[in-house]
Amino acid sequence: MNFPADFIRFLKAASRIAVLTGAGVSQESGLRTFRDAQTGLWAQYKPEDLASPEAFARDPKLVWDWYAWRREAMKGVRPNPGHYALVELEKKIPQFTLITQNVDGLHRFAGSQNVLELHGNIQKVRCADCGTFTEEWGDDSETVPTCEKCGGLLRPDVVWFGEALPRAELEAAVNASRACQVYFSIGTSGLVQPAASLAHAARNNGSVVVEINAEPTPLTPKVDFAFHGKSGEILPDLLKAVWGD
């Protein structure tokens, strides 16, 4: 991919960058994007009907099993060149914040350090009642595992529809978006708030906004640079064009 000369010059001089990623960044690792049809057993459900407090209250075992299935599906999944390019980018930029909507943990797995998981992490499990985190649980148990401390049901540590985002992560994401010189929106349809509004916070503070996505999104008309294609190809190309590696 060719990048405009002014874009390359600007990026080379940047010291503060914020990046928001979505499911598109993990697509080349073999993970379905959020709005892809679910496969197999889960095809008849909509993710929104499984990832909500109401769904968990209605049928905790069904919801627990859906996340156990997703954790199982994650076992062979590895970061792709897009994740690794973001690890390299972080090493080159003094103030670099990686904000992700993804719950797959692949950015940390790839080696990214300053990661804000706005929607939580599917590999973490906490008590739905007292919030205690637990490391050990049985994914194949007949019933939903319960908390050793209070007996409450365990649940994945992810943000469900209708739930608030973790306050500390959201605050840090807003601050990073407001302070950055360059804001990247990568692999996200930009449909879900409040993550989608981070690009506007960056724009309002005069940041250069860049979109890297397989297809145009509602954000596309408002960005300074839009590169449409696979993030696993564009990001390594970008590192090479700007820093030669």
Considering the complex, state which of residue 16 and residue 32 has its C-beta at the smaller distance from ligand OAD.
32
Residues 6+ apart with CB under 8 A from 147: 127, 129, 130, 132, 134, 153, 154
Answer yes or no: are the C-beta atoms of 118 and 103 closer than 8 Å. no
How many residues at the interface with ligand OAD, by CB under 6 A? Answer: 24
Q: Residue 152 touches which of ligand OAD, Zn ion, none (CB < 5 to 8 A by kind)?
A: Zn ion
Contacts with Zn ion by CB under 5 A lie at 127, 129-130, 132, 147, 149-150, 152
Active site annotation includes 83:
no
Give me the sheet containing 133-134, strands edge to edge: 133-134, 120-127, 154-158
Determine the Cα–Cα distance for residues 106 and 122; give it in Å rounded to an integer.
11
Considering the complex, state which of residue 115 and residue 128 has its C-beta at the smaller distance from Zn ion.
128
Q: What's the closest the beta carbon of residue 142 comes to ligand OAD, in angstroms?
A: 27
Catalytic choice (107, 119, 200, 228): 119
Determine the Cα–Cα distance for residues 156 and 195; give it in Å rounded to an integer.
20
Query: How many residues make up the chain in this entry?
Result: 245
Q: What's the closest the beta carbon of residue 144 comes to Zn ion, in angstroms?
A: 13
Q: Residue 147 touches which of Zn ion, ligand OAD, none (CB < 5 to 8 A by kind)?
A: Zn ion
Determine the Cα–Cα distance for residues 113 and 33; give it in Å rounded to an integer.
23
Rounding to the nearest 10 degrees, give the CA dihedral for residues 91, 211, 71, 80.
-50
Considering the complex, state which of residue 101 and residue 112 has its C-beta at the smaller distance from ligand OAD.
101
Q: What's the closest the beta carbon of residue 144 comes to ligand OAD, in angstroms?
A: 20
Question: Which residue from 103, 98, 156 is spatially nearest to 125, judged by alpha carbons?
Answer: 156
Phi, psi of 96 (to 5 degrees): -125, 125
Query: Pattern of binders to ligand OAD over 91-130, x per CB under 6 A?
Result: ----------x-----------------x-----------
Query: Should residue 159 be labelled a site residue for ligand OAD when binding is judged by CB under 6 A?
Result: yes
Q: Which residues bind ligand OAD (CB under 6 A)?
A: 22-24, 27-28, 33-35, 51, 101, 119, 159, 187-189, 191-192, 213-215, 217, 230-232
Catalytic residue ranges: 119
